Structure 1
Amino acid sequence: MIYHTADKNNDRLDRRCMRHFGRFLGAVAVEELHLNGRLFTWTNERLHPTLERIDRAFASVDWLELYPNHHMRALSSDCSNHTPLLPRMDVVPWARKRLHFESFWTKLPGFLDVVASAWEPTLLHADAFRIMDYKLRNVARALKSWSMRNIGSVQLQLAIAREVILRLDCTQDRRPLSTEESALRKDMKCKCLGLASLKRTIARQRSRLMFLAEGDANTRFFHLKACHRCRKNHIASLRVQGNDLVLNEQMADAVYHHYSALLGTPFHRAATVNFDSLGLAQHDLSMLDVCFFEFEIWATISELPSDKAPRPDGFTRLFYKVAWPIIKQDVVNAFNAF
């Protein structure tokens, strides 16, 4: 169920109504839908207008779980001073398939062997950055294949284990289970416990909520936060030279050409600062040209959060921490290539 806060007759909601509405929202546990493309939804239409966000949409937690790929945007206000809001129920954000590095992979046997085997091939007569990119792509493909062979779909395995337990429970209602059936039921219960823990770990990692404990059982909350992040981070359109681009290929090309044009462009400062007149202490800057040391790079990596902000290639900081003995030489070469 969606609740809309805009009053049809008045431009502003009465404060008393807002207090009662706030208590109502807290009672039914709802969340505000993210508005894409607009900051304000109301104006007083004056010469120097007042802009406010009056029109809002809220949905219950059950509705958010039913429509995780919803998308809400603003329409033209036409002759009104309010902006209509249009929610769509099933809009899947387009994204190029990439690696989702799972944190529990590092705890499984064979992980480092896969990384070492995929990291070994290299490119001849290539710069350090190209070699790093080549090796990371190899590792991503190898880890995907290894995960599908040895782990598979956690959600599917959990559903199968639950179905087997349900069938055995129904059988137990009519007759005693055999020794083999009892052992299978016990084994499936253990697998359910482990798979449910893996499912919570994956959901927590997707949500990027690092302040909650690893074993927190609120998987529903994790899924809702992950869906909210996905919708909020999605770019629906880009305006380039007065034209609105909505196709993903066009937006990707526009971003690529924009930043490619900036590289190598001379920059002229409009103003300068005379640091000598500030009386600042003088420092020896000769060490700035010295190559990076391995211990400096490792000290920085070891201090970074393990599961926050994965790189565009999908690898988190945890990968660099665990696989450091294998990848350190190429990482150091890339740093010193600067």
Structure 2
Amino acid sequence: MNNYYKGERCLCVEGVLLKNNFNCAFFLFYGAHDRGEKLVVWEELSYVAGLCQSPCCFMGDFNEIVYIEERKGADSLTVAAEEFKNWIQDMQLVDLPLNDRKYTWFRGCSCSWIDRVMVSLEWVEEFPETRLRGGRRGLSDHYPLIIEDTKIRDGPRPFRSLDSWFTHEGFLRMVKEEWKGLGEINFTEKLKALTAPLGRWHKDNFGGMDRKILQLEEDIKKLDDKVSSGVHDGTVEARRKALVTCCERWYVKKEFQWKQMSQSRHAKDIDKNTKYFHQIASARRRNNRIDALMINGRLVRNSARIKIAIKEFYKQLYYQEESPKVGFSDGLVTRISEEESVELEV
């Protein structure tokens, strides 16, 4: 521990994790109930985090929701909830998802998700396998939240397309050509076969996106420096416009890609920040994995058993017994004429 801060509703401990020499700060927090007090607390937390100048982990009972579905029976967000949501975005915190609980607080028929763990982007970069799960509630009206940093094997990934591909003029033409060349194999096999050419096409047209944007920005800066030095003519202006147009296209592609991958519920509310979206996407991938499953009343963590159970479930779900073929006796149904047949087909 290097330093600590004790506030009215929070305790901050700043120091170094010796295992990996990681400078960080932990905030343990209990939220206020009154809106005015909440605003004061958000400001205080921002101030202390600024003093620490380290990756932060905020945990505790925040006494506030971020989305309507986080409170049973809620039909709108309060002003205080909107302010809390804005504070999370301003601080660029990743709100770790909790997959095995819908709510964290229960009292009678009331229940809400008001306990959370939020970490800064640098924290997620240092601990990319950070995950969150609920512990046993016992006598408390809150579920404890347990943070884990465990690596779990991924299963096979499904076929996905990126929205950003459709911003490229030649994308659909390339897909059509590749699709035709695959012949008469079934649909699933075609998708599998399409993965390789799509990967190559993505690398050729979207690879090194950040590097290309940086290069365009550098070229624009050089032209601006020329103008600052008094060199300005039609050629310089035309060149700058072309570079800006090209740079804008890359901005759009990059934003499309990370917004889709993040699937952030509040992506539409915040400005372009691809680093933020990247960490949200990574967090969702980690937390969407199934590392435990209730099978016949028992919690199973063995990945092989989980795969078998899921496979058997869907096998039974889509299984259909062969039905006896029902035919019509001769003469029961009159055969329609050729003219009637043509009219029906039309």
Provide the TM-score with structure 1 as the length reference: 0.52
Structure 2: give runs of 5+ residues left out of the alignment: 1-24, 43-82, 90-94, 322-343
- Residues 14, 208 of structure 1: alpha-carbon distance in 2 compared, 3 angstrom cutoff: closer
* SS of residue matched to 2:250: helix
Code of the aligned partner of 2:200: S
Q: CA deviation at 1:255?
A: 0.7
Listed one character per residue, the Cα deviations across residues 19-62 of structure 1 (whole Å, up to 9, x for unaligned) are 62367443670275433323454678xxxx888558612537xx
Question: Aligned to 1:87, which of 147, 157, 166?
Answer: 147
TM-score normalised by structure 2 residue count: 0.51
CA RMSD of aligned residues (A): 5.2
Higher relative contact order (CA 8 A, sep 6+): 1
Partner of 1:219: 272
Asked if 1:38 corresponds to 2:101, the answer is: yes
Structure 1 position 177, deviation (Å): 8.1
State which of 255, 272, 297 in structure 2 corresponds to 1:200: 255
Structure 2 residue identity aligned to 1:114: M
1:55-204 alignment to 2 at 5 Å? 56-57=115-116, 59=118, 63-64=120-121, 66-67=123-124, 70-76=130-136, 82-88=142-148, 94=154, 96-121=156-181, 131-162=186-217, 168=222, 186=240, 188-204=243-259
Q: Can you list the C-alpha shifts for 1:56-107, whole angstroms capped at 9, x where unaligned?
A: 12537xx257527542222345786654322347878946445442234335
Q: What is the CA-CA distance between 1:253 and the residue it aligns to?
A: 3.0
For residues 221-266 of structure 1, the C-alpha deviation after alignment (integer angstroms, 9 at most, x for no partner) is 9827656754664434212234434355543332112211344366
Aligned length: 249
Long gaps (5+) in structure 1: 7-12, 125-129, 267-292, 296-338
Give the residue type in structure 2 aligned to 1:67.
Answer: V
Q: Trace 1:163-312 onto structure 2 (pairs within 5 A).
A: 168=222, 186=240, 188-208=243-263, 218-220=271-273, 223=277, 226=281, 230=285, 233-246=288-301, 248-264=303-319
Deviations 1:168-196 (A, max 9, x none): 489869988899x9699835544322211
The residue matched to 2:299 in structure 1 has which SS?
Answer: strand
Greater helix percent: which structure?
Answer: 1
Structure 2: which amino acid aligns with 1:199?
Answer: K
Q: 2:37 aligns with which of 16, 20, 35?
A: 20
**Sequence identity, in percent?**
18
What letter matches 2:165 in structure 1? W
